[in-house]
Structure 1
Amino acid sequence: MGQKTNPIGNRLGIIRGWDSNWYGGNDYGDKLAEDHKIRKYIHARLSKASVSKVIIERTLKLVTVTITTARPGIIIGKGGQEVDKLKEELKKITDKEVQINIFEIKRPELDAYLVASSIARQIESRISYRRAIKMAIAAAMRMNAEGIKVMISGRLNGAEMARSEMFKEGRIPLSTFRADIDYALAEAHTTYGRMGIKVWIMKGEVYGKRDLSPLVGMDKKQSKSAGSQKPAGAGKPRKRK
């Protein structure tokens, strides 16, 4: 019996790049665990900032953390105060200098993780799962998605026996490697237990050579790193004698 693989992992190196970019030696396991800890911390701390991907790059003395979000203003804060606090907190986790880059997601309706998280939050707020899913599908199709599929599993409407339901519109060609399909999983914690929400979004097909960076098409909002602050008086015009 055929099983469906993760569409993102299935396309790595073909039309999609990795979310962790570094070389590990004997401490590979420690770095991998640290990446997981960083992502978990950022998603928990910035739960209201609509954070999607956290991309981590490492050099010998620097860890570069790139955050993709639909609400960059919450992460940056007034005058960059919040992003400075986050940088200091991540330095304590990694024991290295940290640089933070923030990229804005222009169309959050086409980001599978943000769509799944939005459906989960609505279910936790006691909104009908059918209504939440149909609204998400309609919003994605309005933003010119070629297809979207949503599967929800759990004790739907408080039923005694757990079951799964699937909603689909458009096409989702999982076997076509050039198909740009975004996939994500989120969980809703309700009084009846946990519900799992899986989302597949078909954005189009990729022909020819493609930039494998997961940041294609995003706007860079801010970059904060150690030593990036301007010295006092920098940028001010000099007075002529």
Structure 2
Amino acid sequence: MGQKIHPLGFRLNITKPYQSIWYACFINYAVFLREDIKIRKYLETIGKNTKDTEIYKIKIIRSNINQYRNNNKAKKINEKKKIEERKTNNKNSFKKINNKDKIKKTKKIKFGTSKKIKVQIFVAKSKPFEKDNQCLYNKIVHMLKTYLSKHQKLIVEILPYSGSDKYVDISAMGDKIIKDLEKRLPFRRTMYKALNFAPENNGIKIQISGRLNGIDMARHEWKRKGRVPLQTLNAEIDYILKEAHTIYGIFGVKIWIFRGRGKEKKI
């Protein structure tokens, strides 16, 4: 069997940018990762439940982390110098002094934490986020603050759809397929409809997996139109994975769109 790999993660720093930009030490890495997952899940539920909203991309940026890391390095270097000076002056009392320095280290050293978090929400339909209707915006800010620690400042930016961003097409396709499957329409018809009414591309592939037609054994079926080269790194491929909750269980929907070969971009 061929080994599968995520097509977007495979092309990071070549044709695709990072969806979250931050650095953390080994102690705070798990904390930041949990916060990111909670933020993304909450915003995805808002995009599904509220009308006239299509959140197709979420980007998280954390700042002022490397400063803390550099300060910690400087503190460690200064403490080592102090210990070496005391060694030369007092050889006999070195053991007592060394124990005191260990106690001070545990109190003083603080590993890198982020002061600011910027959450960029890319929206296809921005009617509920207009100036007249700020109830939804205030609700999002209030809920996101509960997921974060107290010392972090939150900045939420809502960016409307720009014509250059083509990732909207694939997210809209995924939402349409999910709605059709939840209405109990036949899955083959939904796939053919999506292939015929797909936006301009060089190739497209759609795969649906689950208990198709209510059969006890789960399986997957896929349809392709054109070519989708997943092994070439220069190929600009958009990918999305979504879930449809039906009577027979959860159906997984995967879509690949091949835009063409592009230049290598280091982002």
- What is the TM-score normalised by the length of structure 2? 0.71
Q: What's 2:124 paired with?
A: 70
1:153 Cα deviation after fit: 1.0
Q: What's 1:174 paired with?
A: 230
1:182 Cα deviation after fit: 0.9
1:169 Cα deviation after fit: 0.7
Q: What's 1:223 paired with?
A: none
Are the equivalent residues in 1 in contact too, given 2:128–2:134 (CA < 8 A)? no
More helix by percentage: 2
Q: What's 1:39 paired with?
A: 40
Are the equivalent residues in 2 in contact too, given 1:124–1:188 (CA < 8 A)? yes
Other structure's SS at 1:74 match? coil
More off after superposition, 173-182 vs 120-129: 120-129
* Pair 1:22-2:19 in alignment: no
2:187 to 129, 139, 144: 129
Other structure's SS at 2:146 match? helix
Q: What's 1:151 paired with?
A: 207
More strand by percentage: 1
Q: Which residue identity is paired with 1:4? A: K
Q: Which residue identity is paired with 1:71? A: K
Are the equivalent residues in 1 in contact too, given 2:13–2:266 (CA < 8 A)? no
Q: Quick one: distance in 2 between partners of 1:109 and 1:100?
A: 21
Q: What's 1:232 paired with?
A: none
- What is the TM-score normalised by the length of structure 1? 0.78
Q: What's 2:142 paired with?
A: 88
Larger Rg: 2
Q: Quick one: distance in 2 between partners of 1:28 and 1:9?
A: 19
2:265 to 186, 210, 213: 210
Are the equivalent residues in 2 in contact too, given 1:117–1:187 (CA < 8 A)? no
Q: Quick one: distance in 1 between partners of 2:201 and 2:223?
A: 15
Q: Quick one: distance in 1 between partners of 2:215 and 2:197?
A: 28
Q: Which residue identity is paired with 1:3? A: Q
Unaligned runs of 5+ in 2: 64-113
- The change in CA–CA distance for 1:130 and 1:160 in structure 2 (over 3 A counts) is same
1:211 Cα deviation after fit: 6.2
Are the equivalent residues in 2 in contact too, given 1:153–1:195 (CA < 8 A)? yes
Structure 1 ranges of 4+ moved more than 4 A: 106-110
Q: Quick one: distance in 2 between partners of 1:194 and 1:137?
A: 22
- The change in CA–CA distance for 1:77 and 1:3 in structure 2 (over 3 A counts) is farther
Query: What is the alpha-carbon root mean square deviation over aligned residues?
Result: 2.1
Unaligned runs of 5+ in 1: 213-241
Percent identical pairs in the alignment equals 36
1:69 Cα deviation after fit: 2.3
Are the equivalent residues in 2 in contact too, given 1:22–1:57 (CA < 8 A)? yes
1:33 Cα deviation after fit: 0.6
Are the equivalent residues in 2 in contact too, given 1:184–1:200 (CA < 8 A)? yes
Are the equivalent residues in 1 in contact too, given 2:228–2:256 (CA < 8 A)? yes
1:195 to 234, 237, 251: 251
Other structure's SS at 1:134 match? helix
Are the equivalent residues in 2 in contact too, given 1:111–1:182 (CA < 8 A)? no
Structure 1 residues 126-185: Cα deviation after superposition (integer angstroms, max 9, x where no partner): 222222222222222xx3111110011112122233221111111101111111111111
Are the equivalent residues in 2 in contact too, given 1:21–1:56 (CA < 8 A)? yes
1:197 Cα deviation after fit: 0.9
Other structure's SS at 1:5 match? coil
1:199 Cα deviation after fit: 0.7
Other structure's SS at 1:18 match? coil
- The change in CA–CA distance for 1:109 and 1:37 in structure 2 (over 3 A counts) is closer
Other structure's SS at 2:194 match? helix
Q: Quick one: distance in 2 between partners of 1:45 and 1:79?
A: 15
